[in-house]
Amino acid sequence: MTDRALAVVRAGALTTVQDRGRPGHAHLGVPRSGALDAPAAALVLRLVGCPPDAAVLETTLTGCALRPRCAVAVAVGGAPCPVTVDGRPVPWGAPVGVPAGALLNVGAADSGVRSYVAVSGGILVEPVLGSRSTDLLSGLGPPPLADGVVLPLGRPRGRHARVDVAPQPAPPSELVLRVTPGPRADWFTPEAVRTFTSRAYRVSSASNRIGLRVDGPALQRARSGELPSEGMVLGAVQVPPDGRPVVFLADHPTTGGYPVIGVVRTADLPAAAQAAPGTPVRFVAVRRR
């Protein structure tokens, strides 16, 4: 077992390959995709000496188990979780050497939603439109991991970081999202606009990589009918007919006909990726920069 590859022993609830995504293709109907918690993915890549455009694994809630076919350095970050090598506990948030044939187990998240696994050399699946990311909406990129899949690895370019533990932000106990009103805020009653930025919501269990769904007060429209389809951006807060806002994340559709009441600042979206179902959510209105 000397080839540079990684065997998936336990795929977990949803584990995908992600990198910085494929921006610039919205006019073709292709979402940006990429790691939802981009800072966490970038950090674990640095910890194992990978370039910032390398690919990682993004797990969801239940982690995964992997068996490298060669000796590798691994770092796990994002949502805190237990990490073991052949049953022996190893640090989370720090580079760890994993021998060829050993079992790396990334456990269920203690808090948060998504953990990130970086491996020295990076995950070297075939790129599509310049990215190795799995896109759940369009189906581009590799499919979500399944038990028994073997992933190719690149060759290390540099040495891993020499740290004990790298500081990482904790998953939010309350998710505060700064939102710029519009462009279709006029499709809602004044009371609905006030409700949107003053009442409490909670993260819905129906959330996914496409959008963060919330439970809470419905927003009443001031107009009937629907808009013609128009372009959608990362962070757009679309309101479907049930009146519950949906914050578009990395795999969002590039067009839509439901009105957008506001747009969340991009800097707040990594925290949204780690907000577990039931987490309180507040939308705070800010001026357009």
Among candidate residues 118, 152, 186, the one where a domain is terminated? 152
* Average pLDDT across the chain, whole number: 94
Using the predicted structure, report yes or no on whether residue 86 has a pLDDT greater than 90.
yes
How high is the pLDDT of residue 75?
A: 96
The domain containing residue 193 runs over which residues?
A: 175-285
Asked if the structure places residue 246 within a domain, the reply is yes
Task: Look up residue 46 and give its DSSP letter.
Answer: H
The candidate with the shortest Cα–Cα distance to 55, out of 91, 11, 6, 14, is 6
How high is the pLDDT of residue 169?
A: 81
Asked if the structure places residue 83 within a domain, the reply is yes
Using the predicted structure, report yes or no on whether residue 104 has a pLDDT greater than 90.
yes
Asked if the structure places residue 164 within a domain, the reply is no
**Average pLDDT estimate for 277-282:** 97
**Average pLDDT estimate for 107-113:** 97
Asked if the structure places residue 163 within a domain, the reply is no
The candidate with the shortest Cα–Cα distance to 276, out of 202, 197, 218, is 202
Segment holding 2, helix H or strand E: none
The candidate with the shortest Cα–Cα distance to 15, out of 161, 160, 207, 147, is 147
Task: Compute the Cα dihedral for 169, 171, 176, 179 and give only its sign.
Answer: positive
Tell me, yes or no, whether 32 and 88 share the same domain.
yes
Asked if the structure places residue 223 within a domain, the reply is yes
User: How are beta strands 280-285 and 175-181 bridged, if at all?
Assistant: parallel
How high is the pLDDT of residue 262?
A: 97
Tell me, yes or no, whether 148 and 33 share the same domain.
yes
Confidence at 224, pLDDT banded by 50, 70, 90: confident
Using the predicted structure, report yes or no on whether residue 29 has a pLDDT greater than 80.
yes
For 164-206, the pLDDT digits (tens) are: 666 778 888 999 999 999 899 999 999 999 999 999 999 999 9
Q: Are 281 and 172 in contact (CB under 8 A)?
A: no
> In whole angstroms, what is the distance from residue 247 CA to residue 181 CA?
13
The candidate with the shortest Cα–Cα distance to 270, out of 70, 77, 92, 47, is 77
Asked if the structure places residue 227 within a domain, the reply is yes
For 113-149, the pLDDT digits (tens) are: 999 999 999 999 999 999 999 999 999 999 999 999 9
- Neighbour count for residue 146 (Cβ, 10 Å): 9
Confidence at 1, pLDDT banded by 50, 70, 90: very low
Using the predicted structure, report yes or no on whether residue 77 has a pLDDT greater than 60.
yes
How high is the pLDDT of residue 162?
A: 66
Tell me, yes or no, whether 12 and 62 share the same domain.
yes
> In whole angstroms, what is the distance from residue 228 CA to residue 237 CA?
17
Asked if the structure places residue 250 within a domain, the reply is yes
Q: What is the CATH number of the domain that holds 280?
A: 2.40.100.10
